[in-house]
Amino acid sequence: MAKAAILEKVGGLTIGEVELADPGPHEVLIDTKACGLCHSDLHFIDGAYPHPLPAIPGHEAAGVVRAVGSEVNTVKPGDHVVSCLSVFCGHCEFCVTGRMALCLGADTRRSADQTPRIIRSIDKTPVGQMLNLSAFCEQMLIHENACVAIDKDMPLDRAAIIGCAVTTGAGTIFNACKVVPGETVAVVGCGGVGLAAINAAKIAGAGKVIAIDPLAEKRELAQVLGATHTVDAMADNAVEEVMKISHGGVHHAIEAVGRQASADLCVKILRRGGTATILGMMPLDCKVGLGAMDLLSGKKLQGAIMGMNHFPVDLPRLVDFYMRGLLDLDTIIAERIPLEKINEGFEKMKQGTSARSVVVFD
């Protein structure tokens, strides 16, 4: 049996016990050691994004492999691993053209055995697996293409946040935007994803890194992680301030909040030929667009799910960046909490004053 935070109904999580099946041929059973609280989880908990219930959320995790299925050849028992929700099939159009984050090969992610992978201990009823991971649980049973082995010297609480926030933020800089040294980058929203993007922009050699957030505490964190300038997102002259700092607009504007206003701001602060990249999970009825003059100015708008990562390659590199002192994960983690305090962690997230909370399992 394993203890888990289960989403029974919209509004909050309950702690209960579940049982996981034995690994199928391509599945991996992992003892979860740490899992970050991500705003994407909150969207499901609050009902902004629908999902069949009951289910176990959580997708930003690290742990130790306990057992593997008969066909698994990428990891072995005892390996330290980071999970990633952008599990890939390996043979669809997106995978073979290097866009693994876009893979939708759900039929290949499961074991051929379609019996429930997770059930409640109390009544043996199925519990849904959210985003192929369900990491708010003492154990994860996932496809081998949803995790990657990392250096065992890497602290697992810091490794966990690489699985989503850092992969998304840093991946956007390195993969989706391909930031060139000297370019100006603006990041709207200085939560876990935004801070990771700021840190990665520094690593990539961006000339100016402008952090835009309404909270002074978040802007201060951004400066620790590499922001050269900060702007209050709620200031009446925020656009003018960015234009002044960047001498006419930024090369890259990254939205890391999930709000219409912040996406629109990204478009407004672009220079000619600049690119706005939207990372946040906005309300499903939101639309972001470019005007006629934006198009005539060569401006571009793109989404970048999970930073358009190639996670089997990217994650070990990000671990190496941390081990070499280039990537600052310590500043991004605001607190470490037990599973029993997970709802308190999400309440703190709603206040928006701190960065990442991480659930640590004994």
**CA–CA distance, 144 with 175 (Å, rounded to integer):** 23
pLDDT at 129: 92
Pseudo-torsion of CA 195, 198, 200, 203, nearest 10°?
-130
Residue 86: strand, helix, or coil: coil
Q: Which residue did the predictor score with more confidence, 354 or 305?
A: 305
Q: What percent of the chain has pLDDT over 90?
A: 87
Q: Tell me, yes or no, if 190 is annotated catalytic.
A: no
Averaged pLDDT, 321-329? 97
pLDDT at 116: 85
| Token code pair at residue 358 | 């991480």
The region that residue 189 occupies, defined by phi over 0 for left and psi between -120 and 50 for alpha, beta otherwise, is left
Which residue in 26, 43, 143, 251 is the catalytic one? 43
Q: Tell me, yes or no, if 43 is annotated catalytic.
A: yes
Q: Which of 92, 59, 299, 271 is nearest to 165 (CA)?
A: 59
Q: Tell me, yes or no, if 143 is annotated catalytic.
A: no
Mean pLDDT of the chain: 94
Q: Tell me, yes or no, if 164 is annotated catalytic.
A: yes
**CA–CA distance, 37 with 198 (Å, rounded to integer):** 19
Question: What pLDDT band is residue 358 in, cutting at 50, 70 and 90?
Answer: very high
Rg (CA), the chain: 20
| pLDDT for 115 beyond 90 | no
Q: Where are the alpha helices (DSSP H) in the chain?
A: 39-45, 93-96, 106-109, 156-161, 167-171, 192-204, 216-224, 238-246, 260-268, 292-296, 311-323, 342-351
pLDDT at 81: 98
**CA–CA distance, 195 with 329 (Å, rounded to integer):** 9
Q: Tell me, yes or no, if 40 is annotated catalytic.
A: yes
pLDDT at 105: 66
| pLDDT for 106 beyond 60 | no
| pLDDT for 73 beyond 90 | yes
Which residue in 59, 80, 251, 252 is the catalytic one? 59
**CA–CA distance, 204 with 207 (Å, rounded to integer):** 9
Which residue in 35, 38, 84, 95 is the catalytic one? 38
Q: Is 213 exposed, middle or buried (0-12, 13-18, 19+ CB in 10 A)?
A: buried
pLDDT-wise least confident of 207-221, 282-296, 346-360: 346-360
Which residue in 35, 95, 103, 164 is the catalytic one? 164
Give the CA count within 13 Å in the CB-facing half-sphere of 345: 28
For 143-169, the pLDDT digits (tens) are 999 999 999 999 999 999 999 999 999
Which residue in 26, 35, 39, 40 is the catalytic one? 40
**pTM listed for this prediction:** 0.93
Averaged pLDDT, 224-229? 98
